[in-house]
Each structure stands twice: as structure tokens, then as C-alpha cells.
């Protein structure tokens, strides 16, 4: 595995972002993975997608947003807009103008939906894994106490417990405010390609009904919601990975029907 770096500019500041790209068969789509909040491209799903691409002739691209994994920048300086910009830059600069299958996990599902329209006819399918559009709004409305709201206003951030690490999630005021401008569930989401949304009913981070809300807003005529009765937010078990791979193959076939 060779990790390379690509330059993105945030407010005229140069930031080098880490990525791994595999060309595969250039006549087939490239799978682009958009990871979740504070995740990185070394995770189980990212590695699985690269292996699935190699086995099935797809190209693949996985990367770390600014402040994530092997990329430069401070995590606390990131917003949905800046991570959307990172993704958009990779899609423009490193996908060789090929057809794309976007796979977005959690926050990456939000970013995938934000970037999808710009790809036009190149986008052949989109897979959402516990997709979490507008999660910043949900955080404030459903989880922030009055004390937390006051801390956000006075200190500019709050700490939230992290079930995956001893380090808390740092939620900044900039992230919350920017999330308002990037929210998408209040209007139609203009996507024409096949979409499959995978969601666990036991997900403690994203309610399973979120997938139904996304489905309602998508303009695509081919949207499938798969609700699992077991599993968790990450959907990284062997049977989950198998389902993700099967979903990729299905949207590829559906896009040509």
C-alpha cells in the first residue's frame, strides 16, 4: 500500500491530504469511499472496499479529510463545508473523469449526498451506510443540555462522550453553525442514479428512521432502504461487509438498466 498526498487549499492555506488510489479496470467505475466523523481510511470498511474493487475490476479511492488520519490540519478547524471541499477536490482531481460509485459512512453519507449532484451522469450509484445528513442539527436538538448550549456559546466548543475512544468528540461552534448551511433534508436531493441506504435498527448514533427521511427527499426513481434488525452504527461485521459489496454490484447493474 502506497499512501500519497494531495494538496487542497482551505482559505488560501495549503493542506496536504492522504489518499490511496487503485486504478483497476479503467472501463469500470471507481469506488470512492467517504469516511465518517473522526474516522480514517485505514478502517475496516475502507480496506474492504479497496479489496472488493480489486476483486471485481473496479477502481478505488480512499482518503482522509483535513484533520483526519494521515492528513494535515487540525480536526477542530474542520467543518462540513471544508470536508465537502476535500471530497470535491479528490473527485475532480483524482478520479480520471471516470464513472463513480460513492460510498459514504455516517457523516460520509452526508458528504456523499452533498457532492453527488456535481458528478452529473458520471455518478452511477450511491451507497449510504448509516448515513447521517444534518447530524449537527440533530446533536443540538436531541442531545445538548442547556449547560452544553451555554458552553458552546461561551467557549466555542463542547466535549461529547466517544463510544469508540477514550478521547471525547470535540464539537465546535463553527461545525454546528456551518452544518446549518449544509443541511439537505429540508428540500429535494437531486440525484438520478440508483441509491441503496443500509441502516441498523439498533444504531445508537443515527436513528433508523433517518434512512426513510433521506429516501423521501431523494429524486431518484431507484432508492432502496435496507433496515437490519441487528448490527450497530459502524456496520463492519463480515455479514455487513458482504451486504455492502453486494449493494455496490447491484447499483452498478441497475445503472445500466
CA distance 164 to 105: 15
Cα–Cα distance measured from residue 115 to residue 178, given in angstroms and rounded to the nearest whole number: 16
Verify whether residue 203 is a known catalytic residue.
yes
As a whole number of angstroms, the distance between CA 235 and CA 214 comes to 18
User: Among the options 39, 71, 105, 106, which is catalytic?
Assistant: 106
* Beta-carbon contacts of residue 202 (< 8 Å; ≥ 6 apart): 229, 230, 231, 232
* Beta-bridge partner residues of 127: 103, 196
Select which of 134, 178, 203, 240 is catalytic.
203
3-state SS track over 93-139: HCCCCCCEEEEEECHHHHHHHHHHHHHHHHEEEEEEECCCCCHHHHH
Which of 233, 240, 247, 255 is flagged as catalytic? Answer: 233
What is the rounded distance in angstroms from the CA atom of residue 162 to the CA atom of residue 168?
5
Residue 91 grid cell: 473527485
At 240, phi and psi to the nearest 5? Answer: -70, -45
Known catalytic membership, residue 25:
no
CA distances from 5 to 26, 48, 63, 72, 171 (A): 22, 21, 9, 10, 27
> Does 105 participate in catalysis according to the annotation?
no
* Residues with catalytic function: 106, 203, 233
Amino acid at each position: 500500500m502506497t499512501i500519497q498526498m494531495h494538496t487542497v487549499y482551505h482559505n488560501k492555506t495549503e493542506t496536504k491530504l492522504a489518499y490511496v488510489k487503485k486504478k483497476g479496470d479503467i472501463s469500470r467505475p471507481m469506488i470512492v469511499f467517504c469516511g465518517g466523523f473522526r474516522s480514517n481510511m485505514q478502517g475496516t470498511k475502507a480496506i474492504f472496499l479497496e479489496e472488493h474493487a480489486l476483486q471485481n475490476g473496479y477502481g478505488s479511492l480512499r482518503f482522509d479529510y483535513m484533520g483526519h488520519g494521515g492528513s494535515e490540519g487540525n480536526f477542530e478547524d474542520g467543518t462540513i463545508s471544508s470536508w465537502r471541499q476535500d471530497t470535491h477536490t479528490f473527485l475532480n482531481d483524482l478520479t480520471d473523469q471516470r464513472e463513480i460509485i460513492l460510498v459514504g459512512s455516517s457523516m460520509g453519507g452526508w458528504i456523499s449526498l452533498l457532492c453527488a449532484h456535481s458528478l452529473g451522469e458520471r455518478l452511477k450509484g450511491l451507497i449510504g451506510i448509516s448515513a447521517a445528513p444534518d447530524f449537527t442539527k440533530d446533536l443540538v436538538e436531541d442531545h445538548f443540555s442547556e449547560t452544553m448550549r451555554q458552553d458552546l456559546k461561551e467557549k466555542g466548543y463542547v466535549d461529547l462522550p466517544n463510544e469508540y475512544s477514550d478521547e471525547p468528540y470535540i464539537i465546535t461552534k463553527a461545525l454546528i453553525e456551518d452544518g446549518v448551511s449544509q443541511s439537505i433534508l429540508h428540500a429535494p436531493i437531486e440525484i438520478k442514479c440508483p441509491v441503496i441506504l443500509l441502516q441498523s435498527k439498533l444504531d445508537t448514533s443515527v436513528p433508523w428512521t433517518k434512512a426513510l427521511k433521506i429516501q423521501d427527499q431523494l429524486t431518484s426513481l431507484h432508492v432502496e432502504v435496507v433496515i437490519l434488525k441487528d448490527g450497530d452504527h459502524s456496520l463492519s461485521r463480515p455479514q455487513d461487509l458482504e451486504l455492502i459489496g453486494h449493494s455496490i454490484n447491484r447499483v452498478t447493474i441497475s445503472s445500466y438498466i
